[in-house]
Amino acid sequence: MKNNFDKIEELFGILEALRPLTPEQQEKVDKKFRLEFNYNSNHLEGNTLTYGETELLLIFDDTKGNHTLREYEEMKAHDVAYQLIEEWAKDKEVPLSEHHIKNLNKIILVRPYWKDALTSDGQNTRRQIKVGNYKEYPNSVRLANGEMFHYTSPTNTPIEMQELIEWYRSEESVLHPITLAAMLHYKFVRIHPFDDGNGRISRLLVNYVLLKNNYPPIVIKSDDKNNYLKALHLADIGEYDSFIDYIAEQAAWSLSICIKAGRGESIDEKDDLDKEIILLKRQLQGENILNIPVSKKAISEALTKNIIPLCDTAENKLLEVREFFFRDTRNISFTFNKGNGLTYREHNWDNISEQWNYNRKDDEKVMLLQINYNYELSGFKKSLQANSFWVGFEINFNEFNYIIRAKNSQNIELIVPYGKKIVEEEILKLIKPVIIDVINAIKNYL
């Protein structure tokens, strides 16, 4: 461990010589540590937001992805807690207290909720998680080998937390900041004072100690979880140097990042590119992936599952006012790519798939290119003028998707991959502007 501390002292000295960093350099490292720490510390506890989604949420206050509301809330709350320890660290006069730690728990857990848990004898149960208060029930865990690991009992937790704070204050000016931070982390986790959030708080406390001593924050990477837990388990059997050494390794990485920034070098890393590739891959694997090419079957399914129901829904909306008109007319035209274009007209959707197939059964290469749908109300009984009102959609079939375009003032369109079922919200997004246009046009004649 001595070699690691020699390296830490060397790196810290280099950074001190480069300080103060320029505002631009400081902004870069602050952003990097903020994103890395929030993403990794939450990811270690099962949060599923990607690195890119974390950046979108924290920097741009926007969301993307299919995650629970609680995951978004806890990521935002963790960021608030991180910024709070930065503020605490700047105030050298105010000592760390139990109140500080309880406040962190209250912040990161947001609000009370129910969670699966284990009883002291390993039985499954559910328990309400209360925020900002020490645990009322044992929070034992089952290890990978099946053994139960017991943290401090609820009865002894307040006593041991008080002793932890007293220990910290007595050692604050004695121990090396790396050792102090590592041992505070370990002692806190060994007590496990809260029903939830203990891991995140322990890592926040590490960075509170480091920031207070002018070290940059550390980031325990989620993909290094096994080594992190192994170092903690070694501390459980009295090998504290292993965990202190692990924290020192992370501190060396953070110091190196700051030194690069101070020298005007790029602080992007190889794994930053890997993160971008992983994020792109996940985005490409989303719901709208184009994996079904155009075919007789694909278009037939698009007709029966999406296109016909969409047009019927729009038509049914106007049927509400059909009684105020003398006539209603449905016109549907189909355009194929056979020769110089074959157009087939039909006024009903009935058996349309069979009729379409009949017209192309002699040539499998014939493919439907476009559908034009119009539904018209004419002969308005409330006006002496000859007028009509209509809704319409144009559907164009492409190689891997089809486009439904509303014929209205806004020309709203929806691109649909073959095989995808259009949800109700998407149908309303297309239909509503079309119907509103008709309603407004009718009102002009009243």
Give 327's strand partners: 378
Half-sphere exposure for 50 (CA within 13 Å, toward CB): 18
Q: For each of the chain's 446 residues, which pLDDT tens digit applies?
A: 556 789 999 999 999 999 999 999 999 999 999 999 999 999 999 999 988 889 989 998 988 777 889 999 999 999 999 999 999 999 989 999 999 999 999 999 999 988 777 666 667 778 888 899 999 988 877 766 767 778 999 999 999 999 999 999 999 999 999 999 999 999 999 999 999 999 999 999 999 999 999 999 999 999 899 999 999 999 999 999 999 999 999 999 999 999 999 999 988 775 665 666 665 665 555 555 567 888 878 888 898 889 988 888 888 888 888 888 898 888 888 777 665 555 555 555 555 555 445 444 445 566 778 888 888 888 888 877 767 888 889 999 888 899 999 887 667 888 898 888 888 778 888 888 888 888 888 888 77
How many other C-beta atoms can be found within 10 angstroms of the C-beta atom of residue 345?
9
Q: Read off the amino acid at residue 205.
A: L
Q: Residues 100, 102, 108, 112: what is their CA dihedral angle, to the nearest 10 degrees?
A: -160
How distant is the alpha carbon of residue 393 from its chain centre? 35
Contact between 114 and 129 under an 8 Å Cβ cutoff? The reply is yes
Spatial separation of the C-alpha atoms in residues 138 and 119, rounded to whole Å = 7
> Closest Cα partner for 292 from 414, 402, 400?
400
Q: What pLDDT was estimated at residue 362?
A: 46
pLDDT, position 259: 96
3-class secondary-structure state, position 393: strand
Burial grade of 45 (CB within 10 A; 0-12, 13-18, 19 or more): middle
Alpha carbon distances (Å) from 86 to 46, 177, 247, 248, 329: 24, 16, 19, 20, 69
Three-state secondary structure call for residue 4: helix
* CB-CB neighbours of 107 under 10 Å: 21
What is the rounded distance in angstroms from the CA atom of residue 275 to the CA atom of residue 269? 10
| Cα-Cα-Cα-Cα dihedral sign, residues 257, 258, 260, 264 | positive
Biggest CA pair distance of the chain: 98
In the beta sheet, which residues pair with residue 396? Answer: 370, 403
SS3 of 386, please? coil
List phi, psi (to 5°) of 36: -60, -45
What domains appear along the chain, each with residue ranges and CATH number? 2-284 (1.10.3290.10), 296-443 (no CATH)
pLDDT at 359: 46
d(CA 43, CA 41): 6
The pLDDT assigned to 366 comes to 65
Question: Is-contact 165 100, C-beta < 8 A?
Answer: no
Q: What is the pLDDT of residue 283?
A: 55
Pairing outcome for strands 368-380 and 413-417: unpaired
pLDDT for 41 = 97
145 vs 124: CA distance, rounded Å: 17
pLDDT of residue 301: 87
Q: How far apart are CA 393 and CA 10, in angstroms?
A: 70
